[in-house]
């Protein structure tokens, strides 16, 4: 089956899962639908991330209206692909159920960036959670309800 998202298959080339590695993950909703503009849907997604804390420790996240940024550290017994299938699958099922709908929630694939040991994690987390400010959704990050970080 051919992907409807150009270059989605390219996201998988060269992907490596490394236990203990910290990754910045970005997932986008199908056709950039602003599903998470509905606060309850964003909270459902956040609960799915927190439920996965035994397999991937959440360091920071921000749920934007049409995408997710997630800074997390992989545990020893899970690879990135199976983890993302679980997160996207469970969140799709729960959100579709809450909205009384069916169909695709997420675009195929996701973007991942493995952070180097030298990377400043707190700076990365602050940049990540400031997305609503840069997007003009709020004037203060404290006014945006769909983010969290272990350092803040």
pLDDT, tens digit (0-9, with 9 covering 90-100), for 66-116: 999 999 999 988 899 999 999 999 999 999 999 999 999 999 999 999 998
Average pLDDT of the chain is: 89
CATH class of segment(s) 17-149 = alpha beta
pLDDT, tens digit (0-9, with 9 covering 90-100), for 109-135: 999 999 987 778 888 999 999 999 999
- How far is residue 3 from each of residues 8, 58, 71, 82, 109, measured CA to CA in Å? 7, 29, 26, 19, 10
Choose among 15, 24, 28, 77: nearest CA to 52: 77
Q: Which two tokens stand for residue 4?
A: 């409807």
Is the pLDDT score of 2 beyond 50? no
Domain boundaries, the chain: 17-149
**32: DSSP letter:** G
pLDDT, tens digit (0-9, with 9 covering 90-100), for 7-37: 444 445 556 778 889 999 999 999 999 999 9
**How far is Cα 84 from Cα 90, in angstroms, rounded to an integer?**
10
Q: Which two tokens stand for residue 33?
A: 């639908």
């Amino acid at each position: 089956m051919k992907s409807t998202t150009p270059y989605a298959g390219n996201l998988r080339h060269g992907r490596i899962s490394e236990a203990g590695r910290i990754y910045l993950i970005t997932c986008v909703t199908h056709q950039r639908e602003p599903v998470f503009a509905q606060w309850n849907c964003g909270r459902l997604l956040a609960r799915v991330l927190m439920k996965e804390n035994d397999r991937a420790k959440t360091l920071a996240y921000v749920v934007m209206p049409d995408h997710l940024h997630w800074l997390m550290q992989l545990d020893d017994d899970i690879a990135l692909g199976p983890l993302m299938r679980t997160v996207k699958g469970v969140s799709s099922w729960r959100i579709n159920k809450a909205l009384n709908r069916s169909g695709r929630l997420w675009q195929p694939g996701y973007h991942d960036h493995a952070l180097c040991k030298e990377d400043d994690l707190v700076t990365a987390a602050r940049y990540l959670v400031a997305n609503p400010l840069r997007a003009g959704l709020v004037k203060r990050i404290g006014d945006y309800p769909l983010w969290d970080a272990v350092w803040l």
